[in-house]
Amino acid sequence: MPAIILVGTQWGDEGKGRVVDWLARDINIVARFNGGDNAGHTVVAQGHKLGLHLVPSGILHPHVVCLIGAGVVVNPQQLVAEIDRLAALGVDVSPARLKLSAAAHIILPTHRALDGAREAARGGDAIGTTRRGIGPVYADKAARINLRAGDMADPESFSERVAEVVSLHNRRLEEEYGLPPLPPAQIAAEYCACARRLSSHLVDGSALVGEALAAGQTILCEGAQGLLLDLDHGTYPYVTSSSTIAGGALTGLGFGPRYVSRVIGVAKAYTTRVGAGPFPTEIFDETGERIRQVGGEYGTTTGRPRRCGWLDLAILRYAARVNGLDEFALTKLDVLSGLKRIKVAVAYERAGVRTEYFPAEFGARALSEWRPVYEELPGWEEEISRVRSRAELPAAARDYIALIEEQVGIPVTFIGVGPERDQAIT
């Protein structure tokens, strides 16, 4: 019966894969609904650490079926590479377990080239994208130019269309950016080979989800990125090009709201952001560097150091409102251990006016006029990675969580205290 939606509440990298792992025991299908290989999560399989970008994190649970939904944009070469790496470690990635919606859109190498060219042309105003072709492929989706995964069912005609669209993109690369063309015939041949590999994974994703829900199965809808990277509700233009919020699960997978039983927002115990754009609680001194080092805050996809800052409750309130959150999963609380004082933004102020909600919708420039209002709390010295119940946490850590719950009005039902599977308070 139920669909559980799991979304990021900040700028992505909240540790959503970790929370999927916690929930997966009671789940039949884990379905990705947005984004592409700009996302990244690290999984540990057979003692090997793997960075996955497209295959949903549920794949390591043998009873879970994984779906890459219609709202996702797929780089087929990346998907084949991930399937091969997982298979080499003995993970079952057969078509029975890993399914690809025929309506998902296909990323071409020229989408990536156009992404890079646009970023270079923006100069100092660059978005800081992952250069995976995300912006161009979603633009082409709206312009109705793209190939979709379902086209791979006929690899020959798929590869002909690939060559056509690559040639179209080549004209843009040459005329708008003065860049050399990419080879259509070679790309067509490579994509034909991918189509042969992937066509057995194709499904009608909306039918799969709809039938599973009607049969009483549980689906976990796994969002990529986070609220403030949402195309409509994030810090535009410093956003990604898909819908990262709970509503995106419905459009990205194709089912109706009456099935939604639970919406979980994943929040890091502090805030991080990769790429450019406003970040009001960013820390520029050694405390920021310390959080980066202790938290291992480097991008899974690009390896870039993440910008680090204090927790922002105005963001979490905004996330609760936009997503209709039922609960928070709070990750990486252990990273804050050892800080003497911890600051938390509780509201914003501009010219004597106060707002409790993160003022994202008027865009990046308007946001720069607002100042965060901080509360300062005492930190805790104790190591907490072995703690397994809230009662055992140091009083200051309990107060920190209580402040979140009290200010946002939503319970915290999961607390991550270390990277290992069992290092959590649930």
| Residues in CB range of 303: below 8 A, 6 or more apart | none
- Candidates 21, 41, 115, 201; catalytic one: 41
Q: Is the Cβ–Cβ distance between 91 and 149 less than 8 Å?
A: no
Task: Give kind and range of the element (H or E) at residue 112.
Answer: helix 109-122
In the annotation, is 41 catalytic? yes
Q: Is the Cβ–Cβ distance between 317 and 348 less than 8 Å?
A: no
- What is the footprint of ligand IMP within residues 131-190 (CB under 6 A)? 132, 134-135
Q: How far apart are the C-alpha atoms of 286 and 422, rounded to whole Å?
A: 30
- What is the footprint of ligand IMP within residues 300-339 (CB under 6 A)? none
Q: Please tell me whether residue 229 binds ligand IMP under the rule CB under 6 A.
A: yes
Q: How far is CA 336 from CA 294, 296, 341, in A?
A: 9, 13, 10
138-159 burial, b if ≥16 CB within 10 A, otherwise e?
bebbeeeebbbbbbbeebeebb
- For β-strands 271-273 and 307-309, DSSP reports them as antiparallel
Nearer to ligand IMP, 139 or 377 (CB): 139
Nearer to ligand IMP, 271 or 337 (CB): 271
Q: How far apart are the C-alpha atoms of 40 and 18, rounded to whole Å?
A: 12
CB of 352 to ligand IMP, least distance (A): 32
CB of 269 to ligand IMP, least distance (A): 17
Q: How far apart are the C-alpha atoms of 131 and 112, rounded to whole Å?
A: 6
Q: By rule CB under 6 A, what string of x and - marks binding of each residue 101-130 to ligand IMP? A: --------------------------xxxx
Q: Please tell me whether residue 72 binds ligand IMP under the rule CB under 6 A.
A: no
Q: Write out the DSSP string of 284-329.
A: -SHHHHHHHHHHT-B-TTT-PBPEEE-EEHHHHHHHHHHHT-SEEE
Q: How far apart are the C-alpha atoms of 89 and 91, rounded to whole Å?
A: 6
Looking at 32-40, 181-189, 196-204, 399-407, which segment touches ligand IMP (CB under 6 A)? Answer: 32-40
- What is the footprint of ligand IMP within residues 195-224 (CB under 6 A)? 224
| Count of residues in contact with ligand IMP, rule CB under 6 A | 21
Q: By rule CB under 6 A, what string of x and - marks binding of each residue 234-253 to ligand IMP? A: ----x-xx------------
Q: Which of 100, 173, 274, 387 touches ligand IMP (CB under 6 A)? A: 274
In the annotation, is 13 catalytic? yes
CB of 13 to ligand IMP, least distance (A): 5
Catalytic positions, written as ranges: 13, 41
Which residues in this chain contact ligand IMP in the complex, by CB under 6 A? 11-13, 38-40, 127-130, 132, 134-135, 224-225, 229, 238, 240-241, 274-275
